[in-house]
């Protein structure tokens, strides 16, 4: 299987050079490992364009749950018994089973995995735990790329320029359309209704 990281990494490297950014801060293997719940050596391997160590889906699930659990314990300063108790109550499983899952000793069922997605608040749903390492890291890199690439806002017209030129309208349209791509479904409905109303209004004016 190919490494989807390479193309995203190429785009990031280009952006870093163009903006004169700190590469070591943006592509810090330790930070990327924490965000993807991957071993740091796997992240370094992928960043060098090499294939990661072979694993199974069960290996991935167990290792990533353990990574998230370890990070949770490090942040909270609380013992595993506290985390296992919270998972037990949240997922409706025994404390023993919760501890074994959090410690990476057991693989949870699909239903429990769904509950862990919500418990740890991870993005990508169940695929966060099951995706091959290149896909897991690439998801994180794509998120960083989206954050790093600025959106150029159109300049505000001066007092003597109340009517924008035609190419300015085109710039505004393109910027707004790029921003609209990330709108949630309910806002898309509002935007669609507004555009439909405006188009209908223009049609009615043209018929007069």
Band (71; pLDDT cuts 50, 70, 90): very high
Question: What is the topology classification, in CATH, of domain 57-127?
Answer: 434 Repressor (Amino-terminal Domain) (1.10.260)
Q: What is residue 149's predicted lDDT score, i.e. its pLDDT? A: 73
Question: What number is the average pLDDT over the span 40-63?
Answer: 94
- pLDDT over 90, % of the chain: 66
Mean pLDDT check: name the lowest of 13-22, 24-33, 44-53, 182-191.
182-191
Q: Residue 107: CA atoms inside 13 Å, Cβ hemisphere, count? A: 10
Band (189; pLDDT cuts 50, 70, 90): low
Predicted confidence (pLDDT) at residue 13 exceeds the cutoff of 90:
yes
Rounded CA-CA distance 184/70 in Å is 33
Predicted confidence (pLDDT) at residue 49 exceeds the cutoff of 60:
yes
CA dist 7 → 34, 87, 166 (Å): 21, 38, 35
Q: What is residue 174's predicted lDDT score, i.e. its pLDDT? A: 44
Region for residue 77 given its phi and psi (left: phi exceeds 0; alpha: psi -120 to 50; beta: otherwise): left
CA dist 1 → 50, 128, 132 (Å): 11, 18, 10
Q: Residue 132's closest CA among 208, 34, 72, 63?
A: 63
* Domain boundaries, given as residue ranges, for the chain: 5-52+132-148, 57-127, 167-206
Predicted confidence (pLDDT) at residue 155 exceeds the cutoff of 50:
no
Q: What is residue 146's predicted lDDT score, i.e. its pLDDT? A: 92
Burial of 121 (0-12, 13-18, 19+ CB in 10 A): exposed
Q: What is the pLDDT of residues 93-136, one digit of tens each?
A: 999 999 999 999 999 999 999 999 999 999 889 999 999 999 99
Band (160; pLDDT cuts 50, 70, 90): very low
Predicted confidence (pLDDT) at residue 180 exceeds the cutoff of 70:
no
**What pTM, to 2 d.p., does this model score?**
0.68
């Amino acid at each position: 299987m190919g490494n989807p990281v390479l193309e995203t990494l190429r785009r990031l490297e280009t952006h870093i050079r163009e903006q004169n950014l700190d590469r070591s801060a943006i592509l810090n293997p330790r930070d990327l490992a924490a965000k993807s719940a991957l071993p740091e050596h796997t992240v370094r391997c992928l960043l060098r364009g090499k294939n990661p160590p072979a694993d199974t889906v069960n290996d991935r699930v167990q290792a990533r749950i353990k990574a998230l659990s370890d990070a949770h314990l490090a942040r909270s300063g609380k013992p595993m018994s506290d985390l296992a108790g919270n998972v037990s109550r949240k997922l409706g499983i025994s404390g023993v089973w919760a501890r074994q899952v959090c410690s990476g000793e057991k693989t949870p069922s699909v239903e429990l995995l769904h509950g862990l997605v919500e418990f740890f608040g991870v993005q990508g749903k169940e695929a966060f735990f099951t995706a091959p390492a290149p896909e897991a890291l690439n998801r994180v890199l794509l998120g960083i790329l989206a954050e790093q690439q600025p959106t150029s806002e159109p300049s505000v017209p001066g007092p003597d320029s109340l009517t924008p030129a035609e190419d300015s309208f085109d710039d505004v349209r393109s910027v707004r359309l790029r921003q609209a791509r990330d709108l949630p479904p309910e806002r898309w409905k509002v935007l669609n209704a507004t555009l439909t109303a405006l188009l209908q209004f223009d049609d009615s004016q043209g018929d007069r």
